[in-house]
């Protein structure tokens, strides 16, 4: 290939024609409070795991919501399930339930998670 | 009621006596467009339009890339206006969208800040003993063709219709950001309902494709292109538009801006080389025309005189669809009949 001295950047645009939101809808069935999330980031700000790693729970659940699942199962292993995020969430999202259900859906897509 | 609101989206375009300012880059990229425009205005419509050989740069590209200071741009623009005054014209018609944006912006600044106008008068006088007036009307050539689109339609030999299927051609229109996004009230349809090109397409039988990224920038963006390392931003924006229009299977793209026509065309080659991707079914790419080329073709002007062979994506398949005759042997002959060497063929974009 010719070396043009620059590269084409991949878009971060959400293209709903190209992604499947099946897993996200399943997650909403299992943890309906997630519908109320308005992406404030309080969960990430308070997260204990965040103090020591680059883990961001908000980034994880935002990617899940966009249908971008690559690498999320591994990311979620950094969570210690301490529940601080659930305490601070101003919208009452049950984050521990959300995290458990995301793990289950990502690890075993056929098995349903628990509330 | 609908008409009352639509009136707010119209623009005041002078009826006659225009002073034409050629573009620095358009004469290289689209060598037949400006001559075709003058022919349409003078021969087809009988208008008075003056093509002044003394004109010079508006500094637009240097201004938008921060290498020419504002005071210099104002003085150079003032010199152009002084040449217009000397020739006795008041209605300016700049061929380039960048110049159109620069002239409109300078006039706006002078109206809002009279002290800048005084300073510019002084600078111009000190530099070259000249005096100037602001134009009464600034219209882009696409405004004029839009204004007289029905008169031109009566003279046209062809329509934007696929002669094999009898259906209107699918046309993507793209207006330059500096046409209607800097000063929306200076563009027909403003920035929300760009109608200057759409009006031509509809009047001449085509179908305007309304696709999601229709109002997105073409990607040129001056510094995004001029610094080599930044060109990824430019090509990525163009790719976004091409991907968005692809499902509508456009027969061609038409634009009123030199940068847009250039990059929507040339980046198709770059994307084909980098990603082996073309945006039509057969691998030839989507032809990109200027509005003068589109009008000229329908009026029956020779495609090679219009300069279509200079484009990256070649237009023979489009000409066949409309039914416009052309002589393949003349394609790479110069105006004086000299046989020029045909360009090399790219690997991944068919020609
Ligand atoms: S439960 Fe997990 S995500 Fe929530 S604060 Fe604790 S470590 Fe962070
Ligand atoms: S704290 Fe609650 S509302 Fe805010 S981003 Fe986290 S889950 Fe969403």
CATH code for the domain of B119: 1.20.1050.140
Integer CA distances (angstroms), B257 to B95, B159, B345, in order: 9, 23, 26
Per-residue pLDDT tens digits for A41-55:
999 999 999 998 999
Q: Is residue B349 in some structural domain?
A: no
Do both B200 and B180 map to the same domain?
yes
Count each helix (H run) and each strand (E run) in chain B, helices first: 17, 8
Per-residue pLDDT tens digits for A7-38:
998 887 777 888 889 999 999 999 999 999 99
- pLDDT of the residue at B2: 61
Per-residue pLDDT tens digits for A52-104:
899 999 999 999 999 999 999 999 999 999 999 999 999 999 999 999 999 99
Do both B187 and B321 map to the same domain?
yes
Do both B70 and B35 map to the same domain?
yes
Q: Is residue B337 in some structural domain?
A: no
Distance of CA B120 to the CA centre of its chain: 29
- pLDDT of the residue at A11: 81
B231-266: string of b/e by CB count within 10 Å (b at 16+)? bbbbbbbbbbbbbbbbeeebbbbbbbbbbbbbbbbb
Residue A113 has pLDDT above 50, yes or no: no
Partner residue opposite B236 with nearest CB, options A1, A5, A8: A8
Q: What's the CATH class of domain A22-107?
A: mainly alpha
pTM of the model: 0.85
Tokens matching residue B71: 């005071």
Do both B125 and B247 map to the same domain?
no
Q: Which domain does B226 fall in, by range?
A: 142-330
Q: Is residue B7 in some structural domain?
A: no
How many CA atoms lie less than 13 Å away from B299 in the CB half-sphere? 24
Ligand 1 centroid, distance to A15 Cα (angstroms): 29
- pLDDT of the residue at B41: 98
Do both B318 and B263 map to the same domain?
yes
Do both B191 and B60 map to the same domain?
no
Can you give the CATH number for the domain in which B241 is found? 3.40.50.11810
CB B75 within 8 Å of CB B120: yes
Tokens matching residue B323: 């039914």
Do both B95 and B146 map to the same domain?
no
Q: Which of A28, A36, A44, A89 to mutate to test the pocket of ligand 2 (most atoms within 8 A of CB)?
A: A89
Partner residue opposite A6 with nearest CB, options B231, B239, B275: B231
Q: Is residue B202 in some structural domain?
A: yes
Tens-digit pLDDT profile for chain B (351 aa)?
Answer: 567 788 888 889 999 999 999 999 998 899 999 999 999 999 999 999 999 999 999 999 999 999 999 999 999 999 999 999 999 999 999 999 999 999 999 999 999 999 999 999 999 999 999 999 999 999 999 999 999 999 999 999 999 999 999 999 999 999 999 999 999 989 999 888 889 999 999 999 999 999 999 999 999 988 888 889 999 999 999 999 999 999 999 999 999 999 999 999 999 999 999 999 999 999 999 999 999 999 999 999 999 999 999 999 999 999 999 999 999 999 998 878 888 888 999 989 999
Do both B130 and B146 map to the same domain?
no
Integer CA distances (angstroms), A13 to A37, B24, B232, B274, in order: 20, 36, 16, 20
From B98, B113, B139, the end of a domain falls on B139
Residue A111 has pLDDT above 90, yes or no: no
Q: Is residue B176 in some structural domain?
A: yes
Q: Are the beta carbons of A9 and B233 separated by less than 8 Å? A: yes
Chain A nearest-CA distance from B273, in A, is 7
- pLDDT of the residue at A12: 79
Chain B nearest-CA distance from A2, in A, is 7
Do both B58 and B150 map to the same domain?
no
Do both B56 and B81 map to the same domain?
yes
Number of C-beta neighbours around residue B342 at 10 A: 10
How far is the C-alpha of B266 from the C-alpha of B257, rounded, in Å?
14
- Please report residues of B whose CB lies closer than 8 A to that of A9: 232-233, 236
How far is the C-alpha of B62 from the C-alpha of B65, rounded, in Å?
5
- pLDDT of the residue at A109: 54
Do both B146 and B246 map to the same domain?
yes
The strand ranges marked E within B157-256 are 170-174, 207-208, 252-255
- pLDDT of the residue at B6: 82
DSSP letter, residue B339: B
How far is the C-alpha of A64 from the C-alpha of A43, rounded, in Å?
15
Total domains in chain B come to 2
Q: Is residue B1 in some structural domain?
A: no
Tokens matching residue B313: 């994506």
CB B174 within 8 Å of CB B260: yes
- Please report residues of B whose CB lies closer than 8 A to that of A4: 231, 270, 273-274
């Amino acid at each position: 290939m010719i070396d043009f001295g620059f590269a084409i950047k991949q878009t971060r645009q959400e293209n709903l024609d190209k992604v499947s939101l099946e897993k996200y809808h399943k997650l909403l069935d299992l943890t309906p409070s997630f519908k109320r999330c308005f992406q404030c980031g309080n969960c990430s700000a308070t997260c204990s795991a965040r103090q020591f790693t680059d883990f961001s729970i908000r980034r994880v659940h935002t990617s899940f919501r966009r249908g971008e699942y690559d690498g999320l199962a591994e990311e979620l292993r950094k969570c210690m399930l301490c529940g601080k995020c659930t305490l601070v969430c101003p919208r009452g999202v049950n984050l521990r339930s959300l995290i458990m259900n995301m793990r289950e859906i990502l690890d075993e897509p056929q098995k349903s998670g628990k509330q | 009621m609908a008409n009352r609101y639509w009136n707010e989206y119209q623009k005041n375009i002078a009826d006659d006596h225009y002073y034409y300012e050629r573009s620095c880059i358009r004469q290289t990229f689209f060598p037949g467009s400006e001559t075709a425009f003058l022919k349409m205005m003078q021969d087809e419509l009988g208008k008075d339009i003056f093509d002044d050989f003394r004109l010079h740069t508006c500094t637009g590209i240097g201004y938008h890339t921060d290498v020419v200071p504002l005071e210099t741009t104002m003085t150079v623009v003032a010199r152009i206006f002084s040449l217009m005054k000397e020739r006795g014209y008041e209605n300016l018609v700049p061929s380039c969208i960048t110049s159109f944006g620069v002239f409109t912006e300078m006039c706006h600044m002078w109206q809002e800040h009279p002290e800048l106008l005084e300073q510019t008068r002084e600078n111009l006088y000190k530099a070259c003993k000249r005096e100037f007036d602001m134009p009464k009307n600034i219209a882009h050539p696409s405004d004029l063709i839009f204004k007289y689109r029905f008169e031109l339609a009566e003279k046209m030999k062809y329509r934007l219709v696929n002669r094999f299927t009898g259906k209107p051609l699918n046309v993507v229109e793209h207006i330059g950001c500096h046409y209607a996004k800097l000063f929306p009230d200076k563009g027909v349809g403003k920035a929300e309902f760009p109608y200057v090109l759409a009006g031509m397409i509809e009047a001449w039988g085509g179908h305007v494709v309304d696709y999601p990224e229709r109002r997105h920038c073409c990607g040129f963006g001056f510094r995004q292109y001029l610094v080599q390392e930044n060109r990824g931003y430019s090509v990525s924006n163009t790719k976004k538009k091409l991907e968005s229009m692809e499902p509508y299977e456009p027969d061609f793209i038409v634009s009123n801006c030199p940068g847009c026509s250039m990059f929507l065309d040339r980046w198709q080659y770059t994307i084909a080389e980098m990603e082996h991707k073309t945006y039509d079914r057969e691998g030839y790419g989507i032809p990109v025309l200027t509005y003068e080329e589109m009008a000229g073709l329908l009026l029956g002007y020779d495609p090679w005189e219009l300069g279509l062979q200079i484009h990256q994506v070649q237009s023979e398949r489009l000409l066949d669809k409309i039914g416009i005759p052309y002589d393949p042997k003349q394609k790479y002959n110069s105006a004086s009949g000299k046989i020029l060497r045909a360009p090399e063929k790219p690997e991944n974009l068919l020609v």
